Structure 1
Amino acid sequence: MISGIPVSEGIAFGKVLLIKQKDIMIKRKKILKEEIHLEIEKFKKSINYTIKQTKSIKKHAKKNLGEEKSNIFEGHIMILEDEEFSKDIIDLINDKYTAETAVKKIIEKQINEMKNIKSLYLRSRIADIKDIGKRLISNILKVNIKNLKKINKKVILISKDFTPSETSQIDVSNVLGFATELGGKTSHTSIIAKSIGIPAIVGVKNITKKVNNEDYIIIDSINNEIHINPKKNIITSKKKIKEKFLKEIKNLKMFKKLKAITLDGKIIKIGANINQISDINIAKKNGAQSIGLYRTEFLYIDKNTLPTEEEQFLTYKSMAKEMKNKEVIIRTLDIGGDKNCKYLNLPKEDNPFLGYRAIRIYMEKKTIFNTQLRAILRASKYGKLKIMFPMIISLKEIHFLKKELNNAKKELKKEKIQFNKNIKIGIMIETPAAALISNDLAKEVDFFSIGSNDLTQYTLAVDRGNQLVSDLYDPMHPAVIKLIKMVVKASHSHGKWTGICGELASNPNAIKFLLKIGIDELSVNSPDIPNIKKIIRNSYFQRKE
């Protein structure tokens, strides 16, 4: 029995199809001066073909996985169509590098830049960059790319890794599950595996050396177990677990449409955390009553220039209309730290999490902040939008934010543009400083949302992305709990409400505690909503002031 990182729940039984991927060999790195023109033409033809190919993959993904997951490939297309990307490659070809070598160098440069990012979400995009590079180099060299659509028998796939484009083409009628040596929970390959609903475990050390074609294996991603040629008693036991699992999944569906109401009648608002407008559909399907956190930084990260006021306005307006009269909490730009934009030219820092990020950037780049505030205010006419500010540590910052918001309101009023004059504002409580002065902060804002991930790592001085100390990261640590209690009590004493939008909100072991201290809202990843509702409906709400 071996294990890895379970990314898509379920149990699969079947024979192995081992996918061995050969490394693409680049035989010639340099060219003669008279060959430069030919190499540039070869590159241009290949990139145009790769764009066409990727658009076809996106169309297939949209049909089979839905629009949300197909947008992964919109990011691929954006990179391939980026003039700067092509210019950098052509510049290297002009320096007498072959087209394939030039692509490899630019892709490797981008990957090395991303390796230092601490955000798991953003670091997972390395797989996308590799996917783009592999496809483009293969087309330049006219190397056939493995097509997982052509598998015509029921198998469990085992490979060193799958690219997002390969995973999106898996035929679920024949692929029962898969396991890979590489990958992580937040990689797009893992996200796609969850979308197509097949059991998958990634990060399984040396699995391609431990199995052979036609081996019979069990992938149990519920218990993080892979059994190779198991005995009959294990097969029987796992079939019973699968039967129970499928029954639980069926039962959970009924909770999507139900309210999150405790046994003693307290209704808890359940929101969804989203990164983009296409996430709203899956949030609604899973029973979200609101959008508890919209991370606007992804409007900025996936672009080569700052998004305009009009672009942002149209996005926020669409979200407001899509959610009708349900609450949408828009968190203003939380850039910096582990999330960077090249075009902002932010300084490189030794400790970015304690450095120049979020509100600290607004204070110097007021135009960027003003543009976002104007866009949100304009969109507030179309629905129940609220504004939330991140990374707060002082009253001085709140006064600055409110002043800037009032300035934006005055501008729109002068321009005779309609907006919700009474739009509610809240702040993220993600620093110990904010928690300790929460009684003062509660007088200034309408609500709090606890970012338990950052609050935990700042309180415990533990970088949760650092494997050497990640075992010390504990959101239920007494110090963190004490701060959370303090925040909830402070908000209630001033007639305000507090929610949680970090991972603690979806931790089944923490929910009863959160109910007990009087938490008002839980905002989680959409797939977690039915189970959260089930737990709440089987719990009591016992507020202790």
Structure 2
Amino acid sequence: MLVTEMTNPDMVVSMQKASAIITDEGGLTSHAAIVSREMGIPAVVGTDNATKVLTEGQEVTVDGFKGIIYEGIGKEQSVEILPIVQTKTKIKVIVDLPGAEERAAKTKSESIGLLRLEGIIASNGKHPLNFEKQKKLHEYSEMLEKGISIISKPFREIWIRTSDIRSDEFSSLEGSIEIEGNPMLGDHGIRFSLKHPDILKAELKAVLNCANKFHDKKFGIMIPQVISADEVARTKEMAKELGLLGKVKIGIMVETPSACLVIKDILKVGIDFVSFGTNDLTQYVLAIDRNNESVQDLFNELHPAVLNAIKRVLRTCEEMNVESSICGQAGSKPEMVKFLIANGISSISVNADVANEISKLVASVESKTASYNKNNEDNKTHGNGEEKNFKKQFDKNNNSKDKKWADKNPIKKAQEVEKKIEDLKERLMDSNNEEEDGANYEERKESNQKNEIKTSEIAIPSYVEKIIGDEDNSVNALKELFGETIVEIPNNQYPQNNIEEYEPFENNYLQEKIEPKDPTNSNKKPKDEVLDIF
């Protein structure tokens, strides 16, 4: 067994040989937890004092299911890898290490949603900078190509993340750099790769060679730690130079808040897919160290801020017809799965041991969603039983001389209302672009004053109001800042429920709609003020 304070990617070889892993530090998304799940090795992380309590040669039993370590030898239990069930939302697996592909293939999934190059790099024992310094990057590329080829063998689609090597995780590799003061926010991911373009080219060549060698497979590269469209454009230009475009899909990892905020600009560069790395995204959004066991109770991928960021990206991907996926540990959480499907994600990547369970959950959610949509469509098309009778009677009497009955028909009235609403929307849009001509200006001005389309008054959170300063201009300031347009139909001319609503506070998943605070009722416990800018 491997007992250590914390595992790092450069310990992968030792981890592969271990029958169990126990660490003092770390949480559910720490390196030890992630790798042990992929390799099917029992692990207990974040024990705080295992290295002090356990001794060399001591016999213990590790229960990875319950997170308990027993003294002595207990009964061994193994996890059976079961095949996935077919779903509309594609289920993919996460595979990092040569040899782990056989276990993952038992799921019968045809796709790898995440293949990290760091597993292959760590197994070799040399940092990419070592190859660069010795001018042996062709060996680096060949090493990666060999590892990718082995892992890819049972699968038809493989998405490969270019290297994301933090200074603290690979410090023992030959040629590694000095550990930075704040490695998580340091020089790694695409920012490192663009500073060392020859290393990035070697990685891209390895993927291209695999694509040229295996014509029955589809390969994609994922760019990690993206914060700008420029990073994607520069990487894509490099891929074009090497001949990857058209042969290998180009995608990004959505791991930073900045990527979520500028996602439309990134997609405009021209990419094929995005994949959420929720481990890092949650850490960045909530400012919580995912490896620090003392704050693990606050590390929550279902936090409204994280969900809003994800929803913004999914909504934009749907608008721009870009495939979306998730490869963080959150993809194995039932509530997150429900949220992702409700917001239109294309695929979900999980570890092999939970693939069957998650696929069944996805199938169940999809079935309920399809049934719900069908009922709504039936009601929209045919109406309820009473409306059906009206329609039947209307069709029967439509050619009669008595037209008064038709006026009572609710379907016809609904159609008339809908038409009026559409006409009103067109007039609203036209009014924004219409230039005032001198002849009718005063007449239209007088008419508009009588029937003014006004901006809704929104209850602005106190912290926003303080920043804006002038309460009268708060709505306009928010509109300008967030690009929101909120309108009301004048004089409530048409029923509110027949008009698309734009709400200042959106119903966050797993959180009630935030209402303005009632200053007269001080006994109520105040809710967090959450402004959904997405």
Q: Could you say which TM-score interval applies, normalised by the shorter chain?
A: 0.5 to 0.7
CA distance in 1, matches of 2:19, 2:23: 15
Q: Which amino acid aligns with 2:159?
A: I
Q: Quick one: distance in 1 between partners of 2:66 and 2:198?
A: 50
CA contact (8 A) 1:286 1:526 kept: yes
**Residues 183 and 475 of structure 1: CA distance in aligned 2, closer, same or farther (over 3 Å):** closer
Match of 1:312 among 135, 141, 144: 144
Alignment of 1:399 with 2:233, yes or no, is: yes
The reply on whether 1:477 has 2:279 as its aligned counterpart is no
1:401-420 superposed Cα distances (whole Å, 9 cap, x missing partner) = 011112222xxxxxxxxx77
Identity %: 27
Equivalence for 1:269: 90
What's the counterpart of residue 191 of structure 2? Answer: 360
Letter in 1 for 2:166: G
Residue segments in structure 2 that go unaligned for 5+ positions in a row: 55-59, 132-138, 374-533
Shift of 1:372: 1.2
Q: Does 1:430 align with 2:260?
A: no
Return the letter of the residue paired with 1:365: H
One-letter code of the match for 1:484? I
C-alpha distance in structure 2 between counterparts of 1:180 and 1:434, whole Å: 35
Q: Highest CA radius of gyration, 1 or 2?
A: 2
Alignment of 1:47-86 (within 5 A): none
Q: Residue 379 of structure 1: which of 191, 210, 219 is its match?
A: 210
Residue aligned with 1:540, SS: helix
Asked if residue 331 in structure 1 is aligned to residue 165 in structure 2, the reply is: no
Q: Which residues of 2 match residues 450-489 of structure 1 at below 5 A?
A: 450-489=276-315
Amino acid aligned to 2:145: F
Aligned to 1:513: 339
Give 1:431 deviation, angstroms: 0.2
Find the counterpart in structure 1 of residue 115 from structure 2: 294
SS at match of 1:463: coil
Once residues 358 and 16 of structure 2 are traced to their aligned partners in structure 1, the CA distance between those partners, rounded to angstroms, is 29
Q: 1:257 to 1:431 in 2, by over 3 A?
A: closer
Whether the 8 Å contact between 2:38 and 2:100 is mirrored in structure 1 is no
SS in structure 1 of the partner of residue 248 of structure 2: coil
Out of 281-290 and 396-405, give the one that drifted further.
281-290
Normalising by structure 2, we get a TM-score of 0.55
1:366 and 1:519, CA in 2 relative to 1: closer, same or farther beyond 3 A?
same
Q: How many Å apart are 1:445 and its aligned residue?
A: 0.8
- 2:38–2:351 Cα contact (<8 Å) kept: no
Distance 2:45 2:187 in 1: 37
Over residues 142-181 of structure 1, what are the superposed CA-to-partner deviations in whole Å (9 max), with x where a residue is unaligned? xxxxxxxxxxxxxxxxxxxxx986748xxxxxxxxxx989
**Are the counterparts in 2 of residues 272 and 525 from structure 1 also a CA contact under 8 Å?**
yes
Distance between the aligned counterparts of 1:530 and 1:320, measured in 2?
Answer: 20
2:9 pairs with 1:122: yes
Work out the CA distance in 2 between the residues paired with 1:495 and 1:180.
44
2-structure distance, mates of 1:180, 1:371: 36
Distance across 1 between alignment mates of 2:160 and 2:47: 34
Q: Measure the CA separation in 1 of the matches of 2:100 and 2:282.
A: 27
Secondary structure of 2:300's match?
coil
Q: Aligned-pair distance for 1:301?
A: 2.5
Whole-angstrom distance in 2 between the partners of 1:180 and 1:453: 21
2-side partners of 1:336 and 1:374: how far apart? 22
**1:124–1:187 contact (8 Å) kept in structure 2:** no
Aligned pairs, number: 344
1:499 aligns with 2:325: yes
Instruction: Look up the SS of the partner of 1:386 in the other structure.
Output: strand
Summarize deviations over 1:74-109 as a string: whole Å, max 9, x none.
Answer: xxxxxxxxxxxxxxxxxxxxxxxxxxxxxxxxxxxx
Q: How does 1:11-410 map to 2 (within 5 A)?
A: 120-122=7-9, 128=14, 167=19, 191=36, 195=40, 203=47, 222-223=65-66, 253=82, 256-259=83-86, 261=87, 267-302=88-123, 303-304=125-126, 305-306=130-131, 307-323=139-155, 326-340=156-170, 342-381=173-212, 382=214, 383-409=217-243
What SS does the corresponding residue of 1:369 show, helix, strand or coil?
Answer: helix
Cα separation, 1, equivalents of 2:247 and 2:19: 47
* Cα distance in 2 between the residues matched to 1:337 and 1:429: 21
Equivalent residue, structure 2, for 1:231: none
Residues 304-313 or 483-492, more deviating: 304-313
Alpha carbon RMSD of aligned pairs, Å?
4.3
Higher normalized contact order (CA 8 Å, seq sep 6+, divided by chain length)? 1
Q: Deviation at 1:490?
A: 0.7
1:32-67 CA-to-partner distances (Å, cap 9, x unmatched) read xxxxxxxxxxxxxxxxxxxxxxxxxxxxxxxxxxxx
Report the counterpart of residue 48 of structure 1 in structure 2. Answer: none
Q: Is the 8 A contact 1:488 1:497 kept in 2?
A: no
- Return the TM-score normalized by structure 1: 0.54
Residues in 2 aligned to 1:289 and 1:447: alpha-carbon distance in whole angstroms: 17
Q: Write the deviation string for residues 516-535 of structure 1: whole angstroms up to 9, x where unpaired.
A: 11111111111110111121
Q: Distance in 1 between matches of 2:238 and 2:310?
A: 29
Q: Does 1:535 align with 2:361?
A: yes
SS in 2 for 1:442: helix
Spell out, residue by residue over 1:220-262, the C-alpha distance to the aligned partner (whole angstroms, 9 max, x if none).
765556899xxxxxxxxxxxxx9xx99xx88x83xx1521x2x
Deviation of 1:332 after TM superposition, in Å, equals: 0.7
Deviations 1:286-322 (A, max 9, x none): 2323100000122222323535222222333444444
After TM superposition, list the pairs within 5 Å mapping 1:416-427 onto structure 2: 421-427=246-252
Is the alpha carbon distance of 1:222 and 1:361 closer, same or farther for their aligned partners in structure 2, counting shifts above 3 Å?
closer
**CA–CA distance in structure 2, aligned partners of residues 327 and 167 of structure 1:** 31
Q: 1:533 to 1:181 in 2, by over 3 A?
A: closer
- Are the equivalent residues in 2 in contact too, given 1:287–1:530 (CA < 8 A)? no
